[in-house]
């Protein structure tokens, strides 16, 4: 026994940068990261999103450049959102073969193929958001009954058609994010019937009704009045998030997601513990905006805060992380920044 009486000294493993690096349990890699991107029909110049400094609505042309940059940076994936020029009650542009999201998917696949040819390395997986809110004139994630309620079962048909249109355009992963009951099973059937049995489904399984989606509404010029609380989940409920993930797994989801990430790390941990498929988490627009705003005021260290927030999501159990900082973080890695906070 030493004279101090202290047997265990955890500080030994924190004493030097080389020791800390050796014993780091989790580290980020560019391939863990998925970059969400917005493409808007009819734009001639990329349009900055004021509540998401550094992020833009892309033209089809600048989308190609952004996707090529993501490919060169070695990102694991991109998640595409489309903003159509014309909206209607059923969101018909969502399933139009030449709708903006389908055009964006095709452009992304082309840009990635070109970079893969050049570098000989696999590019990012092309994922598409499968949801109607960007395409409906009322801004809800589904079609409405005459009383103005989101009609679950009528919406499922639209999601099925949308997923098939995305697969035809070249999406490798479709991502139902509307929180309709039964959406994964219906999409799986539709994809299989159309010959797309190898297209994967990333289910936004535990998606909470959250004010942290606020800046996203600007990003997609959302028309929504009211809220999404009849279909997205209540922040008070953790168990229900696990149940939603279980249902999506039973319906054939290839990956399950928790969203937002930062306020739901407990749900993420719970889903990761019971899921045998890869688990994703979405660090959403408001999480991005908060750190950007605090950093812009000089109140927090921007890079350290970004890395800690993303690493924490990995530590909580995410295999795949959607973050608007994906490209920038990958750039830091290539400059020698380690994948840790
Ligand atoms: C639905 C969708 C939303 C987000 C991703 N998919 C908006 C919503 O559900 O209200 C939000 C993403 C973010 O805030 O970064 N299409």
Q: Provide the strand spans (E) within 155-220.
A: 173-176, 200-207
Q: Does residue 318 lie within any of the structural domains?
A: yes
Q: What is the pLDDT of residues 158-213, one digit of tens each?
A: 999 999 999 999 999 999 999 999 999 999 999 999 999 999 999 999 999 999 99
Residues of each annotated binding site for 5-aminolevulinate: 217, 228, 285, 324
**Atom number of ligand 1 nearest to Cα 210:** 10
Write the pLDDT tens digit of every residue in 96-128.
999 999 999 999 999 999 999 999 999 999 999
What is the enclosing helix (H) or strand (E) of 206? Answer: strand 200-207
CA-CA distance, 26 to 32, in Å (whole number)?
12
Within a domain: residue 192?
Answer: yes
Cα(273) to centroid of ligand 1, in Å?
A: 25
Rounded mean pLDDT, 252-278: 98
Q: Are 132 and 152 in contact (CB under 8 A)?
A: no
- The complex scores an ipTM of 0.97
Q: For the chain, what is the domain count?
A: 1
Identify whether 179 is part of a domain. yes
pTM value is 0.97
Q: How far is the CA of 285 from the centre of ligand 1 (A)?
A: 8
With both helix axes pointing from N to C terminus, report the angle between 326-334 and 302-315 in degrees, rounded to the nearest 10. Answer: 100
Instruction: Tell me the pLDDT band of 336, cut-offs 50, 70 and 90.
Output: confident
Three-state SS at 112: helix
Asked if residue 197 belongs to a domain, the reply is: yes
CA distance 287 to 294: 11
Residue nearest to atom 11 of ligand 1 (CA): 213
User: What percentage of the chain exceeds 90 in pLDDT?
Assistant: 95
Residue 340 lies in a domain: no
Chain position carrying tokens 């991109």 = 78
| C-beta neighbour count of 121 within 10 angstroms | 10
By the 8 A CB rule, do 111 and 197 touch?
no
pLDDT per residue as tens digits for the range 125-147: 999 999 999 999 999 999 999 99
The CATH number of residue 64's host domain is: 3.20.20.70
Residues 278-296, mean pLDDT to the nearest whole number = 98
Beta bridge partners of 244: none
Q: Whose CA is nearest to atom 14 of ligand 1?
A: 213
Q: What is the mean pLDDT of residues 244-257?
A: 98
Using CB atoms within 10 Å of the CB of residue 109, give its burial: 0 to 12 exposed, 13 to 18 middle, 19+ buried.
Answer: middle
Per the structure, the complete domain to which residue 268 belongs is given by: 27-334
Average pLDDT in the 82-103 region? 98
| Residues found in the chain | 341
Atom of ligand 1 nearest to the CA of 212: 14
pLDDT at site 340: 78
pLDDT (mean) for 25-44 = 98
Strands 56-58 and 47-48: antiparallel
What pLDDT, on a 0 to 100 scale, did the predictor assign at position 1? 58
Residue at 10 is within a domain: no
Q: What angle do CA 97, 103, 105 make, to 5 degrees?
A: 105
d(CA 69, CA 73): 6
Confirm if 128 and 96 have CB atoms less than 8 A apart: no
Look up tokens 């928790």; give the residue: 258
């Amino acid at each position: 026994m030493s004279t101090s009486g202290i047997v265990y000294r955890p500080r030994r493993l924190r004493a030097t940068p080389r020791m800390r690096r050796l014993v780091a349990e989790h580290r980020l890699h560019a391939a863990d990261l998925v970059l969400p991107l917005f493409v808007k029909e009819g734009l001639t110049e990329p349009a900055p999103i004021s509540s998401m400094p550094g992020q833009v609505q892309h033209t089809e042309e600048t989308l190609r450049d952004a996707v090529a940059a993501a490919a060169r940076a070695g990102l694991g994936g991109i998640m595409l959102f489309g903003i159509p020029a014309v909206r209607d009650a059923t969101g018909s542009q969502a399933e139009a073969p030449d709708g903006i999201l389908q055009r964006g998917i095709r452009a992304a696949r082309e840009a990635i193929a070109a970079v893969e040819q050049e570098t000989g390395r696999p590019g990012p997986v092309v994922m598409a958001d499968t949801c109607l809110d960007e395409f409906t004139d009322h801004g809800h994630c589904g079609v409405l009954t005459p009383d103005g309620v989101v009609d679950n079962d009528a919406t499922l048909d639209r999601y099925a058609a949308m997923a098939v249109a995305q697969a035809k355009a070249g999406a490798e992963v479709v991502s139902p994010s509307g929180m309709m009951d039964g959406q994964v099973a219906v999409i799986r059937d539709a994809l299989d019937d159309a010959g797309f049995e190898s297209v994967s489904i990333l289910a936004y399984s535990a998606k909470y009704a959250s004010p942290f989606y606020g800046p996203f509404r600007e990003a997609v010029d959302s028309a929504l009045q009211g809220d999404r609380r009849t279909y997205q989940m209540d922040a008070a409920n953790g168990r229900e998030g696990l149940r939603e993930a279980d249902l999506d797994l039973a319906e054939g989801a290839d990956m399950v997601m928790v969203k937002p990430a930062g306020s739901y790390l407990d749900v993420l941990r719970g889903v990761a513990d019971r899921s045998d498929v890869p688990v994703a988490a979405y660090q959403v627009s408001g999480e991005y905006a908060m750190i950007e705003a605090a950093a812009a005021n000089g109140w927090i260290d921007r890079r350290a805060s970004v890395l800690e927030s993303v690493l924490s999501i990995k530590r909580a159990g995410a295999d795949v992380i959607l973050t608007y900082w994906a490209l920038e973080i990958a750039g830091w890695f290539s400059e020698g920044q380690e994948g840790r906070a």
